[in-house]
Structure 1
Amino acid sequence: MSLSKPTNIVYGLIGAYLQRLYTSPLKTKAITSCIIAALGNVVSQKLSGARQLNEDSVLAFALFGLFFGGPVPHYFHTYVPLLVRHPLGILLIERLIYMPCFQALALYMLAIFEGKPHRVASSQMQKLYLPTLMANLKYLTLFQYINIKYVPPMLRVLMVNLVGFAWVIYLANKRAKASKEK
Protein backbone atom coordinates (compact mmCIF):
# COMPACT_ATOMS: atom_id res chain seq x y z
CA MET A 1 0.00 0.00 0.00
CA SER A 2 2.75 2.48 0.87
CA LEU A 3 4.57 1.66 -2.37
CA SER A 4 1.61 2.87 -4.42
CA LYS A 5 1.85 6.45 -3.12
CA PRO A 6 4.98 7.41 -5.12
CA THR A 7 3.38 5.86 -8.19
CA ASN A 8 0.22 7.87 -7.63
CA ILE A 9 2.27 11.04 -7.23
CA VAL A 10 4.14 10.35 -10.48
CA TYR A 11 0.90 9.59 -12.34
CA GLY A 12 -0.64 12.74 -10.89
CA LEU A 13 2.30 14.85 -12.07
CA ILE A 14 2.22 13.31 -15.53
CA GLY A 15 -1.53 13.85 -15.72
CA ALA A 16 -1.20 17.48 -14.62
CA TYR A 17 1.59 18.04 -17.16
CA LEU A 18 -0.43 16.52 -20.01
CA GLN A 19 -3.49 18.57 -18.97
CA ARG A 20 -1.43 21.79 -19.03
CA LEU A 21 0.16 20.75 -22.30
CA TYR A 22 -3.29 20.35 -23.82
CA THR A 23 -4.79 23.57 -22.41
CA SER A 24 -1.79 25.89 -22.84
CA PRO A 25 1.00 24.15 -24.77
CA LEU A 26 3.26 27.15 -25.40
CA LYS A 27 3.29 28.27 -21.76
CA THR A 28 3.81 24.70 -20.53
CA LYS A 29 6.69 24.06 -22.93
CA ALA A 30 8.32 27.39 -22.05
CA ILE A 31 8.16 26.74 -18.30
CA THR A 32 9.32 23.13 -18.70
CA SER A 33 12.23 24.24 -20.85
CA CYS A 34 13.14 26.95 -18.33
CA ILE A 35 13.28 24.44 -15.47
CA ILE A 36 15.20 21.79 -17.43
CA ALA A 37 17.76 24.31 -18.75
CA ALA A 38 18.36 25.77 -15.29
CA LEU A 39 18.70 22.31 -13.72
CA GLY A 40 21.07 21.23 -16.50
CA ASN A 41 23.26 24.24 -15.82
CA VAL A 42 23.29 23.56 -12.06
CA VAL A 43 24.22 19.92 -12.65
CA SER A 44 26.95 21.00 -15.06
CA GLN A 45 28.44 23.35 -12.51
CA LYS A 46 28.31 20.72 -9.79
CA LEU A 47 29.90 18.07 -12.04
CA SER A 48 32.70 20.45 -12.98
CA GLY A 49 33.48 20.93 -9.29
CA ALA A 50 32.38 24.54 -8.93
CA ARG A 51 32.54 25.53 -5.29
CA GLN A 52 30.07 28.34 -5.71
CA LEU A 53 27.11 28.34 -8.08
CA ASN A 54 27.36 30.88 -10.89
CA GLU A 55 23.88 32.34 -10.54
CA ASP A 56 24.26 34.50 -13.66
CA SER A 57 24.80 31.37 -15.73
CA VAL A 58 21.84 29.56 -14.15
CA LEU A 59 19.62 32.59 -14.77
CA ALA A 60 20.87 32.89 -18.37
CA PHE A 61 20.00 29.26 -19.12
CA ALA A 62 16.61 29.62 -17.39
CA LEU A 63 15.75 32.75 -19.37
CA PHE A 64 16.89 31.17 -22.61
CA GLY A 65 14.72 28.13 -21.90
CA LEU A 66 11.74 30.31 -21.05
CA PHE A 67 11.93 32.70 -23.99
CA PHE A 68 13.49 30.53 -26.70
CA GLY A 69 14.02 26.89 -25.62
CA GLY A 70 10.30 26.15 -25.30
CA PRO A 71 8.61 28.50 -27.78
CA VAL A 72 10.94 28.16 -30.80
CA PRO A 73 10.86 24.33 -30.92
CA HIS A 74 7.10 24.48 -30.25
CA TYR A 75 6.53 26.47 -33.42
CA PHE A 76 9.06 24.43 -35.40
CA HIS A 77 7.41 21.12 -34.48
CA THR A 78 3.96 22.63 -35.11
CA TYR A 79 4.50 24.10 -38.57
CA VAL A 80 7.29 22.18 -40.33
CA PRO A 81 5.25 18.93 -40.49
CA LEU A 82 2.59 20.93 -42.34
CA LEU A 83 5.16 21.68 -45.06
CA VAL A 84 6.99 18.34 -45.12
CA ARG A 85 5.37 15.05 -44.16
CA HIS A 86 8.20 12.55 -44.40
CA PRO A 87 10.28 12.18 -41.20
CA LEU A 88 13.56 12.25 -43.15
CA GLY A 89 12.55 15.52 -44.81
CA ILE A 90 11.70 17.03 -41.43
CA LEU A 91 15.00 15.74 -40.04
CA LEU A 92 16.96 17.31 -42.91
CA ILE A 93 15.25 20.67 -42.38
CA GLU A 94 15.84 20.42 -38.63
CA ARG A 95 19.51 19.40 -38.89
CA LEU A 96 20.57 21.61 -41.82
CA ILE A 97 18.55 24.81 -41.32
CA TYR A 98 16.81 25.02 -37.95
CA MET A 99 19.49 23.57 -35.65
CA PRO A 100 22.46 25.66 -36.93
CA CYS A 101 20.39 28.85 -36.55
CA PHE A 102 19.06 27.83 -33.14
CA GLN A 103 22.58 26.90 -31.98
CA ALA A 104 23.91 30.34 -32.94
CA LEU A 105 20.94 31.99 -31.22
CA ALA A 106 21.52 29.93 -28.07
CA LEU A 107 25.22 30.74 -27.81
CA TYR A 108 24.66 34.44 -28.42
CA MET A 109 21.61 34.88 -26.17
CA LEU A 110 23.14 32.93 -23.28
CA ALA A 111 26.03 35.39 -23.24
CA ILE A 112 23.64 38.35 -23.51
CA PHE A 113 21.49 36.99 -20.66
CA GLU A 114 24.66 36.71 -18.57
CA GLY A 115 25.10 40.45 -19.04
CA LYS A 116 27.94 40.37 -21.56
CA PRO A 117 28.08 43.11 -24.20
CA HIS A 118 27.37 42.37 -27.87
CA ARG A 119 31.07 42.29 -28.81
CA VAL A 120 31.91 39.66 -26.16
CA ALA A 121 28.76 37.63 -26.88
CA SER A 122 29.51 37.64 -30.60
CA SER A 123 33.15 36.67 -30.05
CA GLN A 124 32.19 33.86 -27.68
CA MET A 125 29.56 32.60 -30.13
CA GLN A 126 32.06 32.55 -32.99
CA LYS A 127 34.57 30.64 -30.90
CA LEU A 128 32.12 27.98 -29.71
CA TYR A 129 29.80 27.75 -32.72
CA LEU A 130 31.60 25.25 -34.95
CA PRO A 131 32.64 22.80 -32.20
CA THR A 132 29.15 22.75 -30.67
CA LEU A 133 27.50 22.52 -34.10
CA MET A 134 29.64 19.54 -35.04
CA ALA A 135 29.04 17.84 -31.69
CA ASN A 136 25.30 18.46 -32.03
CA LEU A 137 25.24 16.91 -35.50
CA LYS A 138 27.38 13.99 -34.36
CA TYR A 139 25.63 13.12 -31.10
CA LEU A 140 22.04 14.34 -31.38
CA THR A 141 20.98 13.47 -34.94
CA LEU A 142 19.81 9.97 -34.01
CA PHE A 143 17.82 11.31 -31.05
CA GLN A 144 16.19 13.90 -33.30
CA TYR A 145 15.24 11.25 -35.85
CA ILE A 146 13.67 9.10 -33.13
CA ASN A 147 11.86 12.15 -31.80
CA ILE A 148 10.48 13.09 -35.21
CA LYS A 149 9.60 9.54 -36.26
CA TYR A 150 8.17 8.02 -33.06
CA VAL A 151 7.24 10.70 -30.50
CA PRO A 152 3.74 12.22 -30.71
CA PRO A 153 3.92 15.88 -31.85
CA MET A 154 2.56 17.21 -28.56
CA LEU A 155 5.44 15.60 -26.64
CA ARG A 156 8.31 16.41 -29.02
CA VAL A 157 9.43 19.57 -27.23
CA LEU A 158 9.49 17.66 -23.93
CA MET A 159 11.64 14.98 -25.55
CA VAL A 160 13.91 17.66 -27.01
CA ASN A 161 14.19 19.21 -23.55
CA LEU A 162 15.01 15.90 -21.87
CA VAL A 163 17.75 15.18 -24.41
CA GLY A 164 18.58 18.86 -24.10
CA PHE A 165 19.24 18.38 -20.38
CA ALA A 166 22.37 16.43 -21.28
CA TRP A 167 23.12 18.93 -24.05
CA VAL A 168 22.87 21.85 -21.59
CA ILE A 169 25.43 20.12 -19.39
CA TYR A 170 27.74 19.75 -22.40
CA LEU A 171 27.15 23.33 -23.58
CA ALA A 172 27.58 24.83 -20.11
CA ASN A 173 30.88 22.98 -19.71
CA LYS A 174 32.09 24.22 -23.11
CA ARG A 175 31.13 27.81 -22.26
CA ALA A 176 32.74 27.59 -18.81
CA LYS A 177 36.00 26.32 -20.30
CA ALA A 178 35.95 29.09 -22.91
CA SER A 179 35.38 31.70 -20.18
CA LYS A 180 38.27 30.32 -18.09
CA GLU A 181 40.60 30.46 -21.12
CA LYS A 182 39.95 34.19 -21.43
Structure 2
Amino acid sequence: MNLEAKKYNKWIVILSIAIPVVVAVLFGVKIDIKLPVFLPPIYASINALTALLLIVAFWAIKNKKIKLHEKLMKTAIVFSVLFLVLYVAYHMTSESTKYGGEGTIKTVYFIVLISHILLSIAVIPFVLITFVRAITNNIELHKKIARITFPLWLYVAIIGVVVYLMISPYY
Protein backbone atom coordinates (compact mmCIF):
# COMPACT_ATOMS: atom_id res chain seq x y z
CA MET A 1 0.00 0.00 0.00
CA ASN A 2 1.39 3.38 -0.94
CA LEU A 3 1.77 6.18 1.60
CA GLU A 4 -0.90 8.35 -0.02
CA ALA A 5 -3.49 5.56 0.28
CA LYS A 6 -2.52 4.91 3.92
CA LYS A 7 -3.59 8.39 4.98
CA TYR A 8 -7.16 7.54 3.92
CA ASN A 9 -7.39 4.36 6.02
CA LYS A 10 -8.47 6.18 9.16
CA TRP A 11 -11.30 7.87 7.23
CA ILE A 12 -12.38 4.59 5.67
CA VAL A 13 -12.66 2.98 9.11
CA ILE A 14 -14.41 6.01 10.64
CA LEU A 15 -16.95 6.31 7.80
CA SER A 16 -17.53 2.55 7.61
CA ILE A 17 -18.56 2.58 11.26
CA ALA A 18 -20.10 6.05 11.52
CA ILE A 19 -22.47 5.82 8.56
CA PRO A 20 -24.40 2.74 9.79
CA VAL A 21 -24.37 4.00 13.40
CA VAL A 22 -25.65 7.47 12.44
CA VAL A 23 -28.35 5.93 10.21
CA ALA A 24 -29.44 3.62 13.04
CA VAL A 25 -29.55 6.52 15.52
CA LEU A 26 -31.47 8.75 13.11
CA PHE A 27 -34.03 5.98 12.59
CA GLY A 28 -34.96 6.53 16.22
CA VAL A 29 -35.44 10.27 15.70
CA LYS A 30 -38.90 11.34 14.59
CA ILE A 31 -39.56 14.81 13.24
CA ASP A 32 -43.17 15.90 13.04
CA ILE A 33 -43.18 17.45 9.59
CA LYS A 34 -44.87 16.48 6.36
CA LEU A 35 -42.48 16.27 3.42
CA PRO A 36 -43.70 17.94 0.21
CA VAL A 37 -43.07 14.75 -1.79
CA PHE A 38 -43.41 11.02 -1.20
CA LEU A 39 -39.78 9.87 -1.07
CA PRO A 40 -39.81 6.06 -1.49
CA PRO A 41 -40.31 6.05 -5.29
CA ILE A 42 -37.70 8.80 -5.57
CA TYR A 43 -35.02 6.97 -3.62
CA ALA A 44 -35.93 3.68 -5.31
CA SER A 45 -35.38 5.44 -8.66
CA ILE A 46 -32.03 6.70 -7.40
CA ASN A 47 -31.12 3.09 -6.55
CA ALA A 48 -32.13 2.03 -10.07
CA LEU A 49 -30.05 4.82 -11.59
CA THR A 50 -27.11 3.82 -9.40
CA ALA A 51 -27.37 0.26 -10.71
CA LEU A 52 -27.47 1.57 -14.27
CA LEU A 53 -24.45 3.81 -13.62
CA LEU A 54 -22.51 0.84 -12.21
CA ILE A 55 -23.31 -1.29 -15.27
CA VAL A 56 -22.37 1.47 -17.72
CA ALA A 57 -19.18 2.18 -15.72
CA PHE A 58 -18.29 -1.52 -15.93
CA TRP A 59 -18.82 -1.40 -19.70
CA ALA A 60 -16.74 1.79 -19.91
CA ILE A 61 -13.74 0.34 -18.11
CA LYS A 62 -13.93 -2.89 -20.13
CA ASN A 63 -13.75 -0.68 -23.24
CA LYS A 64 -10.81 1.35 -21.88
CA LYS A 65 -12.90 4.52 -21.47
CA ILE A 66 -11.17 5.43 -18.21
CA LYS A 67 -12.35 9.05 -17.87
CA LEU A 68 -15.96 8.02 -18.55
CA HIS A 69 -15.62 5.20 -15.99
CA GLU A 70 -14.25 7.66 -13.42
CA LYS A 71 -17.12 10.14 -13.97
CA LEU A 72 -19.74 7.40 -13.81
CA MET A 73 -18.31 5.96 -10.59
CA LYS A 74 -18.13 9.36 -8.90
CA THR A 75 -21.75 9.95 -9.95
CA ALA A 76 -22.73 6.54 -8.55
CA ILE A 77 -21.17 7.50 -5.21
CA VAL A 78 -23.04 10.82 -5.20
CA PHE A 79 -26.29 8.99 -6.02
CA SER A 80 -25.68 6.51 -3.20
CA VAL A 81 -25.15 9.36 -0.75
CA LEU A 82 -28.28 11.10 -2.05
CA PHE A 83 -30.23 7.85 -1.66
CA LEU A 84 -29.08 7.54 1.93
CA VAL A 85 -30.00 11.13 2.79
CA LEU A 86 -33.49 10.77 1.30
CA TYR A 87 -33.98 7.34 2.89
CA VAL A 88 -33.11 8.67 6.34
CA ALA A 89 -35.24 11.81 5.80
CA TYR A 90 -38.23 9.65 4.93
CA HIS A 91 -37.82 7.42 7.97
CA MET A 92 -37.34 10.41 10.27
CA THR A 93 -40.60 11.98 9.07
CA SER A 94 -42.81 8.94 8.42
CA GLU A 95 -43.88 5.79 10.20
CA SER A 96 -42.35 2.60 8.87
CA THR A 97 -44.60 0.69 6.52
CA LYS A 98 -45.42 -2.87 7.52
CA TYR A 99 -45.15 -5.52 4.83
CA GLY A 100 -48.62 -6.93 4.22
CA GLY A 101 -47.84 -10.09 2.29
CA GLU A 102 -48.51 -13.50 3.79
CA GLY A 103 -46.83 -16.90 3.81
CA THR A 104 -43.88 -17.66 1.56
CA ILE A 105 -43.80 -14.22 -0.08
CA LYS A 106 -43.44 -12.62 3.36
CA THR A 107 -40.47 -14.87 4.10
CA VAL A 108 -38.94 -14.02 0.72
CA TYR A 109 -39.47 -10.30 1.39
CA PHE A 110 -37.68 -10.45 4.74
CA ILE A 111 -34.79 -12.50 3.33
CA VAL A 112 -34.39 -9.96 0.51
CA LEU A 113 -34.72 -7.03 2.94
CA ILE A 114 -32.24 -8.42 5.46
CA SER A 115 -29.69 -9.26 2.75
CA HIS A 116 -30.11 -5.73 1.37
CA ILE A 117 -29.58 -4.10 4.79
CA LEU A 118 -26.59 -6.22 5.76
CA LEU A 119 -24.87 -5.89 2.40
CA SER A 120 -25.56 -2.14 2.25
CA ILE A 121 -23.54 -1.87 5.46
CA ALA A 122 -20.84 -4.28 4.29
CA VAL A 123 -20.37 -2.53 0.93
CA ILE A 124 -19.43 0.83 2.50
CA PRO A 125 -15.76 0.00 3.23
CA PHE A 126 -15.48 -1.81 -0.11
CA VAL A 127 -16.66 1.28 -2.02
CA LEU A 128 -14.39 3.57 0.00
CA ILE A 129 -11.32 1.36 -0.40
CA THR A 130 -11.98 0.89 -4.11
CA PHE A 131 -12.38 4.65 -4.56
CA VAL A 132 -9.21 5.45 -2.61
CA ARG A 133 -7.21 2.95 -4.62
CA ALA A 134 -8.43 4.62 -7.80
CA ILE A 135 -7.73 8.20 -6.72
CA THR A 136 -4.27 7.24 -5.42
CA ASN A 137 -3.52 5.52 -8.72
CA ASN A 138 -3.07 2.11 -7.13
CA ILE A 139 -4.75 0.56 -10.15
CA GLU A 140 -3.78 -3.11 -9.70
CA LEU A 141 -5.16 -3.19 -6.13
CA HIS A 142 -8.13 -1.11 -7.31
CA LYS A 143 -8.98 -3.75 -9.93
CA LYS A 144 -8.59 -6.52 -7.38
CA ILE A 145 -11.08 -5.09 -4.88
CA ALA A 146 -13.39 -3.72 -7.59
CA ARG A 147 -14.07 -7.34 -8.57
CA ILE A 148 -15.70 -7.74 -5.14
CA THR A 149 -17.13 -4.24 -4.77
CA PHE A 150 -18.94 -4.13 -8.11
CA PRO A 151 -21.23 -7.16 -7.63
CA LEU A 152 -21.93 -6.28 -3.98
CA TRP A 153 -22.82 -2.67 -4.79
CA LEU A 154 -24.85 -3.69 -7.84
CA TYR A 155 -26.78 -6.23 -5.75
CA VAL A 156 -27.53 -3.63 -3.07
CA ALA A 157 -28.74 -1.12 -5.67
CA ILE A 158 -30.93 -3.62 -7.55
CA ILE A 159 -32.33 -5.28 -4.44
CA GLY A 160 -33.17 -1.84 -3.04
CA VAL A 161 -35.52 -1.43 -5.99
CA VAL A 162 -36.93 -4.94 -5.46
CA VAL A 163 -37.61 -4.16 -1.78
CA TYR A 164 -39.44 -0.98 -2.80
CA LEU A 165 -41.52 -2.83 -5.41
CA MET A 166 -42.43 -5.53 -2.91
CA ILE A 167 -43.54 -3.09 -0.19
CA SER A 168 -45.04 -0.38 -2.42
CA PRO A 169 -48.59 -1.84 -2.38
CA TYR A 170 -48.64 -1.35 1.41
CA TYR A 171 -47.77 2.36 1.55
TM-score by length of 1: 0.30
TM-score by length of 2: 0.31
Greater RCO (Cα-Cα under 8 Å, separation 6 or more)? 2
